[in-house]
Amino acid sequence: MAIGPKPSDIPLIRRTLAVYKVSSIITGIFLLGLVVMMVCRYGFGVDIELGGASGGLALTDPDAITGLNISILLLSVHGWLYVLYLACDFVLWRTVRWSFLRFLWIAMGGIIPFLSFYFERQVPRDVEAIIADLEAAA
């Protein structure tokens, strides 16, 4: 028996790829926001606040925040989006039958800034080539 995806996996691969592309972009955007938040918090000792004493978006001492702490929101949302990104990576890895190192490499896209944007372009090319090979063989 050949190791690789089966033609019956094509619909699942296409659906997962569509969700993966969207999740990689959104995860990458929130990761960049997280980088800004980390620079503010650990570089300057301030958090990003919305609707506090200043009324709008402001950089505020973490102990003086009275509004919505955008820094905590960025951490939480990015974490959950990364879980979605990782789940899509896992399903692609399982159905396309890539190596485990490839799974780990693509998983880095959610924790290394700008890498998810690269993978958003590269992974679909690789997957579409695999799908084309499957369709040609069928």
pTM: 0.86
Residue whose tokens read 């028996």: 1
Residue in 109, 80, 103, 95 with CA at minimum distance from that of residue 21? 109
pLDDT of residue 40: 94
- The strand order across the sheet containing 68-69 reads 57-60, 47-50, 68-69
Nearest to 66 by CA among 55, 77, 80: 55
Beta strands of the chain (E only): which ranges? 47-50, 57-60, 68-69
pLDDT of residue 6: 86
9 vs 18, 25, 47, 94, CA distance in Å? 14, 24, 46, 10
What pLDDT score was predicted for residue 2?
57
Max Cα-Cα span within the chain: 66
Spell out, as residue ranges, where the chain has pLDDT lower than 70. Answer: 1-2
